[in-house]
A and B are shown apart, each in its own frame.
Chain A
Amino acid sequence: MNNPRQPTDWTAAAVARRTRRRYAAERRFRLAGLAAVWLSAAFLAWLLASMVWQGTSGFRQTRITLPIDLAAAPLPVTPAQLRGRGADLALAGAGLDALVDRAAVRTLGPGGDALISDGAWLVVRDAIKRDPALLHRRFTIAVPAASAIDVAAKHDGTPAAEAMVATLDARGLLGIGWSGGFLTAADSTDSTRVGIWGALKGSLLTMAVTLALAFPIGVLAALYLEEYAPRNRWTDLIEVSINNLAAVPSIIFGLLGLAVFLGTFHLPRSAPLVGGLTLALMTMPVIVITGRNAIKAVPPSIRDAALAVGASPVQVVFDHVLPLALPGILTGTIIGMARALGETAPLLMIGMRAFIASPPGRLTDPATVLPVQIFLWSDDIDRGFIEKTSAAIIVLLVVLLAMNGIAIYLRNRFETRW
């Protein structure tokens, strides 16, 4: 060796400088990674916090206390009429609406009837139905305030409305309380009377159709592809279409629903039946893919043992493989259903965006669903709808969280590691 290597001088300043630089780069890189994770988490926190911040007031309602004097001006209604089904009609026909407006004008001054919600008299009506003795008494009752006052009382209104709120507050007429109506009413044009129940029921009906179709078809298809399908061109075609369907944009399924279910089969527009069919086509590939993974995870020894004692291939699969794979399949199904529940675009295509003021009763009634209701309210110019939109989002997120929670519980409780 005529050119012996120089031993590295590890103490040289250049080496130390380079090491420091490399370590600094290492720290920067690591910090960038940490920042990416935390910023992503912070986005989520910001999103959720802003929804909760704006939404909680949607569950609360501003009320104005009004004295109602039925002793001086009795309604032409007998207590007998208040029993049974005719009560609503009798009270509505007796001019309760106008009476409450007059009470508002008397108490709040000219224009007072504009300060209370259009639905204020319904609260009085329900109070009278609960206690018919009120028909001949003078009493005070808290009725919902109009949208402008409601928004102002939550510190987001116009200056005029804010001033009115200050006056009312000084007279001790204003109160804020839990709005039970939000969870039990349907859509309305008046933001103080809207509720989420109509959309929630539409979502439930739609999801029922989706589950009834997508779950059996998805599970059977997964069983076929994983356990029986011969390796040939047809099987490849089925697999390719399932994988592609899982990646097709959801709006394309909406176009399919519009062209086929509405255009060709003439099913009713806006119906949970059509919505459920469309979402089932979208959810089915998800169930097939997760189902196949769950079936694949069942060890072959179980199949071999069952075959060895004389079970037929169908018995092996339905008596042994399917029960063992079911928790995994159910987890995948719940996740697929959660995705379908939050889906909006395909349902807009098939017309589930109509204004529906009463909850749907059947699968063919016009209906809307939670995410579409959120979309519709977010478009409304009335400021009162902002908090209602966020409140509806909270309801939707709580439902989704519950579904995912069940999925995680199922996975942890029943999943077997082989």
Chain B
Amino acid sequence: MTPLALAIIVFGLALIGWLAARMRAATFRPPGHARFTALPVHYGYFVAICALVPPLVFLAVWSLTAPALVTDTVLATPAAAALPPPGFERASILSEARALGAGRSHGAFHDLAAQLAPAYAAAQTRYDWIATAVALLLAFAGGGLAFTRVRPDFAARTQVERVVMLLLLAASLIAILTTVGIVASLLYESSRFFRIVPIGDFLFGTHWSPQVIDPRDLGASLGAVPLFWGTFFIGAVIAMAVAIPFGLMSAIYLTQYAHAATRAWLKPVIEMLAGVPTVVYGYFAALTVAPAVREVGVALGIANASSESALAAGAVMGIMIIPFVSSMADDSIAAVPAAMRDGSLAMGATPSETIRRVILPAALPGVVGGILLAVSRAIGETMIVVMAASGVATLTANPFASTTTVTKQIVDLLTGEAEFDSAKTLAAFALGLTLFVITLALNVVALSVVKRYREAYE
């Protein structure tokens, strides 16, 4: 029986249980003045939950253990005695036999795999039938037991609501699980990387060339300082040089000068910049901006102006960040008490003097927090630099020269043709861990700055 058919049957049983319990509960009459604690529909849900949860839990556990059981059964057959000792060859024969048995492939590379395939098919079928029978039995037993409890004095609602609360709690725990998953997978893979490459070489080495790795001294060509510098230069210097003036001035203009009607349509237009997918920015940067930047560089007399310059990637990234800076600045300007602004204007200051001397200093913590968040977003941005920045790591402060970033290198390392355990792929995880730690720190600092500042005015 296919998993889909099994699922339909189990859900069908639950539906039948729901209907039956509801109909039975609907016939209850309250004895005397006693009141029910539950509606008929609660009895329905109670029975449905009891019929659904045990088989689903069983199937979840089963799907994790069944492959091992099937393999054990196959290994017990006489044909398996000819298998080579545990190792790569044995595993490949077994996985081939499994694919043959399941009908997913048709030709066998090893003769032994073809011999084992029928055993696999038989074992799989047998265990599938066991799973189906147990799941149906659990569904009947759970639903039946629950149905016997459908009585007027049974508080079905309390039971159902307890399950609902558990479900809600489980849903919010997914967030913690994801965070733990990210931290654990990055730490695990990185620790494997740092076992073969000294952590000092990685963090402080100034030479990065993963294309040509010397197997005797891995650390010599995996020093990430040029990447950190490139990321900082593109994301925190060039991009911010574009995003801060434009974002801040737009926010000031839209909140302090523009008419409400103008603001109503200009603000969404600016925010559309944030809705454009990064791959579109990347294409735009690579195809339109980068050649233009190179020509400007050549015209300025810079000999090594690259067509994969840091300036092109950084400037386009800055444009992408404008709405982000703008809306953060907007929020913190709006949080400045109106009395401060009115007082300044009443003393005869012009609006621009009020903004520069009163509003901006008062809003500064919020603006700085917003800029830190913008930096964290810029250094984590991937597609623009993948498409427009260079893959060659150089330590340079020349915006027309080519630079690379951490994110670009992660993509390059993981989309190559390397096996999963090589130093290259593990290096990508170490870079990912660094990126995660830095963005996390920036976010924590930024949020605490913004929060403390909000409290100051409340």
Contacts and interface: CB of A to CB of B under 8 A. Distances in A.
A208 to B, nearest CB: 16
Interface stretch (A79-87, A92-100, A134-142, A371-379): A371-379
User: Main secondary structure on chain A at its contact with chain B?
Assistant: helix
Q: How large is the interface on A (under 10, 10 to 19, 20 to 34, 35 or more residues)?
A: 35 or more
Nearest to A258: B414
B227 interface: no
B97 interface: no
Interface centre among B189, B415, B420, B436 (most CB of A within 10 A): B436
Nearest to A282: B178
A37 B270 contact: yes
Given A41-B270, A353-B415, A375-B383, A33 B250 contact: yes
B407 A249 contact: yes
Given A33-B249, A40-B270, A248 B383 contact: no
Contacts of A65: none
A2 B318 CA distance: 61
User: Main secondary structure on chain B at its contact with chain A?
Assistant: helix
Contacts of A244: 179, 440, 443-444
A409 to B, nearest CB: 14
B373 interface: yes
B273 interface: yes
Interface string B242-257: 0001111110111011
Contacts of A160: none
Given A244-B440, A247-B373, A251-B411, A344 B383 contact: yes
Interface string A269-301: 000000000000100110010000000000000
Contact of A255 (B164, B373, B410): B410
A251 B352 contact: no
A50 B254 CA distance: 27
A258 B428 CA distance: 11
Given A25-B352, A36-B250, A241 B429 contact: no
Nearest to A285: B175
A378 B278 CA distance: 13
A389 B287 CA distance: 11
A34 to B, nearest CB: 6
A245 interface: yes
B68 interface: no
B209 interface: no
A313 B160 CA distance: 12
Contacts of B439: 247-249
Contacts of B272: 44
Contacts of B174: 217, 221, 284
Contacts of A68: none
Interface string B337-381: 000000000000011110110000000000000000100110111
A375 B287 CA distance: 12
B275 interface: yes
Contacts of A348: 386, 411, 414-415
A164 interface: no
B265 to A, nearest CB: 10
A193 to B, nearest CB: 21
A36 B246 contact: yes
Contact of A252 (B173, B182, B278, B351): B182
B43 to A, nearest CB: 15
A237 B176 contact: yes
Interface centre among B172, B253, B323 (most CB of A within 10 A): B172
Contacts of A36: 245-250, 253
B171 A221 contact: yes
Contacts of B429: 255, 259
B435 interface: yes
B79 interface: no
Contacts of A372: 279
Nearest to B163: A314
A33 B275 contact: no
B284 interface: yes
Interface centre among B246, B258, B351 (most CB of A within 10 A): B246
A28 B18 CA distance: 72
Interface stretch (A101-109, A170-178, A396-404): A396-404
Given A238-B176, A248-B436, A345-B382, 9 more contacts: A26-B353, A36-B247, A43-B322, A224-B169, A248-B440, A256-B178, A342-B278, A345-B407, A372-B279
What are the 7 A-B residue pairs with the smallest beta carbon separation, nearest first? A249-B380, A342-B277, A33-B253, A36-B249, A220-B171, A259-B185, A29-B352
18 contacts: A26-B351, A40-B250, A40-B319, A44-B276, A47-B276, A50-B284, A221-B168, A243-B443, A247-B443, A248-B182, A255-B185, A256-B181, A342-B279, A345-B382, A349-B411, A378-B286, A378-B287, A400-B275
